[in-house]
Amino acid sequence: SVCKDTFFLFIISCANSDEPAHLKKTVTKDLNGHSSEIRGLTRNRQKNKSESKKPYPIKKQDQPAHLQSHSRTSRASQEKIWDNHLPNQSHVNPHPHPHPPRPSTPPPSPLFSEPWRTLPTSTQDNLNFLKSYQPRKKGVKHLRILLHGPVGAGKSSFINSVDSVLRGIVTSRAETDANTGSSFTLKYQTYKIQKDDQSFYSIVFNDIMGLEANLNNGVQVEDIKLALRGHVREGYKFKPNGSLTKNDPGYKSYPSLDDKVHVLVCVVPVDSISLLDDKVVQKLREVRLAASDLGIPQLAILTKVDRACPEVESNIHNLHKSKYLKGQVEQFSAMLGIPIKSIFLVKNYESEINTYDDINGPILTALRQMVTFGEDYLVTCVHSVDNSKLILLIFLSFLVLLFSYLILL
């Protein structure tokens, strides 16, 4: 065996050999004169020289503890062991002092910190108001509220919800259909709400066929205008391909003030406002213009709020905190010109089997506003009717005086 303290003398021989350079023989002699041949040493020495050029200079104080010994281990072996302890060059950050990562910005909240509309904390005050309400105009027994809007808006469901709130039990008097793509209401029908065994509330609702984009489908705009004036009889079946005429049995020639509409309510799903067909929007505007010409007050009910907003679906108290619903109210106001104060968000009773104050509150608030607007309209109508009667009376008196004067002559 070769002694560790052997002094290696390298003599390159076989210069004229035909062997490749990396296979050339190297002759070594130790101190005892023994010689030996080593192949490929030239290549190994070149490799050792290239490996010695490291990006991190090797210093004794930087070496691991087990490499700081006084062992006679060859430099190539030391470098091989040292390479195993160097960090992976591919993962070294080229920037020695990188900027600290910026904290991620949380997404904006879909809710306002405070509700944009405040509702009464108790529903009892609104209930008492509606129970005691009576139209001040003599001859008018009920305040008539007409609901109109696109197909599937929830008009019949809103009537059922009002009936449920006022009676304290979930009802379904107005027929609804969630699967049909066309209007389920076909007749002009009046709904009275029972107060007790012997009386009814002084509020009635009229439900009509829904509006559609196709001219041959849905209720005709002219029929809605006739209903506003009280010319549509109870039970009249709407004709999508034609409007009501004076010769039709469903036409009422001489309606009373009690037959006329006192409040017009537009019902639209809140999640379908941006999806409304332009033709439907045009029909809604035409109906609104006709009601304005008659002086009839108008409100809007935006339904299906729980389907449109997940935050409201999980908690109905977020109804007036939802930024999305507030934006839909503003969009609908700009679309039809109805003031925001006259637009109400409600959730109809659909899958519930019991009534809840959280659902009742928005419905009662909207209903009370309808009654307030309708009563103001009736007062205005009373004055106009009284003035017309006064004018007629003066005219007749003038005719009598004129006739008497002619007789005396």
216 half-sphere exposure, CB direction, 13 A CA radius: 0
Instruction: Kindly report, residue by residue over 153-168, the tens digit of the pLDDT.
Output: 999 999 999 999 999 9
**69 shares its domain with 214:** no
Higher pLDDT, 49 or 279: 279
Do 129 and 47 share a structural domain?
no
Residue 404 inside a domain? The answer is no
Question: In this predicted model, which residue has the larger pLDDT, 383 or 262?
Answer: 262
Query: Does 294 map to a domain?
Result: yes
Pick the closest to residue 188 from 161, 155, 163, 166 (CA basis): 155
Instruction: Tell me whether residue 130 is in a domain.
Output: yes
Mention every residue, 6+ apart, whose C-beta is less than 8 A from residue 356. Answer: none
Burial tier of 351 (Cβ tally within 10 Å: 0-12, 13-18, 19+): exposed
Helix axes 41-51, 75-85, angle to 10 degrees: 40
| 161 and 291 within one domain | yes
Position 396 confidence tier, pLDDT thresholds 50, 70, 90: confident
Q: What are phi and psi of 130, to 5 degrees?
A: -70, -35
Same domain, 128 and 276: yes
Q: Are 81 and 183 contained in the same domain?
A: no
Task: Please tell me whether residues 295 and 355 are part of one structural domain.
Answer: yes
Domain termination residue (choose one: 87, 112, 141): 87
Q: 19 and 139, same structural domain? A: no
The pLDDT, as a whole number, for residue 383 is 47
Q: Is residue 347 part of a domain?
A: yes
User: CB of 221 within 8 A of CB of 280?
Assistant: no
Residue 334 lies in a domain: yes
Rounded Cα distance, 127 and 131, in Å:
6
Residues 73 and 129 in one domain: no
Is 4 a domain residue? no
The single residue listed with the structure tokens 């106009």 is: 384
Are 71 and 163 part of one and the same domain?
Answer: no
> Could you tell me the residue range of the domain that residue 291 belongs to?
124-398
In whole angstroms, what is the distance from residue 246 CA to residue 235 CA?
16
Q: 97 lies in a domain?
A: no
pLDDT at res. 262: 97
Do 304 and 270 contact (CB within 8 A), yes or no? yes
Residue 388 banded pLDDT, cuts 50, 70, 90: low
The number of residues making up the chain comes to: 409
pLDDT tens-digit map of 221-238: 999 999 999 999 999 998
Last residue of a domain, one of 87, 112, 139: 87
**Residues 278-315 pLDDT 10s:** 999 999 999 999 999 999 999 999 999 999 999 999 99
What is the pLDDT of the chain when averaged over all its residues?
A: 80
Helix (H, G, I), strand (E, B) or coil at 227: helix
In the DSSP assignment, the letter for residue 7 is P
The CA distance from 149 to 155, in Å, is: 8
Where among 37, 62, 87 does a domain terminate?
A: 87
pLDDT in the model for residue 178: 57
Q: Is residue 28 part of a domain?
A: yes
Q: How many CB atoms lie within 10 A of CB 119?
A: 16
CATH number of the domain bearing residue 308 = 3.40.50.300
- Total domain count, the chain: 2
- Give the phi and the psi of residue 94 in degrees, each rounded to 5: -65, -20
